[in-house]
Chain A
Amino acid sequence: SQTIHQWPATLVQPVGSPLSLECTVEGTSNPNLYWYRQAAGRGLQLLFYSVGIGQISSEVPQNLSASRPQDRQFILSSKKLLLSDSGFYLCAWSPRGGTDTQYFGPGTRLTVL
């Protein structure tokens, strides 16, 4: 069966510091990968998606970036965090060429102070 991991689970960072969140998927090959952000009291917002290694598409212009160095690894980064980057970050995967259903990871709670 497939499993999706995210770490860290929680993170408290000062404004202006860098960020690196990691997501890995097990038990599948060539998945589509997604990064979402869920702000308090708001719905999930798609940030990035990837259909393959090195292929990243951005949905929302911001100071965040994403990379996919390996087939089942997805990384969310920032060079300098803003207060507005605080939120719950969720990674998701969907099977390539299969159903469009997306399966979410456990999430990372980021607080920028």
Chain B
Amino acid sequence: EDQVTQSPEALRLQEGESSSLNCSYTVSGLRGLFWYRQDPGKGPEFLFTLYSAGEEKEKERLKATLTKKESFLHITAPKPEDSATYLCAVQGEPGNTGKLIFGQGTTLQVKP
């Protein structure tokens, strides 16, 4: 059964204190791994899609990496506006349904 586990559940950082969020996955044939940011009461906002082990993508202070078993979302010198819940999802083969399997998310709080 496809499964996604995110850790930690919650993370508190001081502004400027870099850290990483983990997403471990089990999927029968990875079609894609997705990172989203979700603010309270809002829909998830797309951040990155990763397709194969070794792939990396960056956006401002965020960098996502992918291995065969997990993905990391690295946050460099975070700011208070980076506070949000970060969701990881995977899509396995066959991909005709487009079904995403989501983790529970990591809630990040960045204090000034």
The residues of B that contact A99 with a CB separation of less than 8 Å are: 32, 49
Q: Is the CB of A90 within 8 A of B97?
A: no
Q: Of all chain A residues, which has the CB nearest B96?
A: A51
CA gap between A34 and B89 in the complex, in Å = 15
Count A interface residues, CB 8 Å.
24
Q: Given B34, B43, B95, B102, which contacts A105 in the complex, CB threshold below 8 Å? A: B43
Ranked nearest first, the 9 interchain pairs of A and B with the lowest CB-CB distance are A104-B43, A43-B102, A44-B102, A107-B43, A104-B44, A106-B43, A43-B104, A101-B49, A100-B32
Q: Of all chain A residues, which has the CB nearest B97?
A: A49
The residues of B that contact A45 with a CB separation of less than 8 Å are: 102
Would A44 and B100 be within 8 Å (CB), given that A100-B31, A105-B43, A107-B43 are in contact?
yes
A57 close to B (CB within 8 Å): yes
Number of A-B contacts (CB under 8 A): 56
Residues of B bordering A, CB below 8 Å:
4, 31-32, 34, 36, 41-46, 49, 87, 89, 91, 95, 97-100, 102-105
Q: Is the CB of A46 within 8 A of B41?
A: no
CA gap between A81 and B26 in the complex, in Å = 34
Would A90 and B43 be within 8 Å (CB), given that A44-B87, A99-B49 are in contact?
yes
Q: Is the CB of A101 within 8 A of B34?
A: yes
Q: Given B41, B91, B98, B104, which contacts A42 in the complex, CB threshold below 8 Å? A: B104
Would A59 and B99 be within 8 Å (CB), given that A90-B43, A104-B44, A106-B43 are in contact?
yes
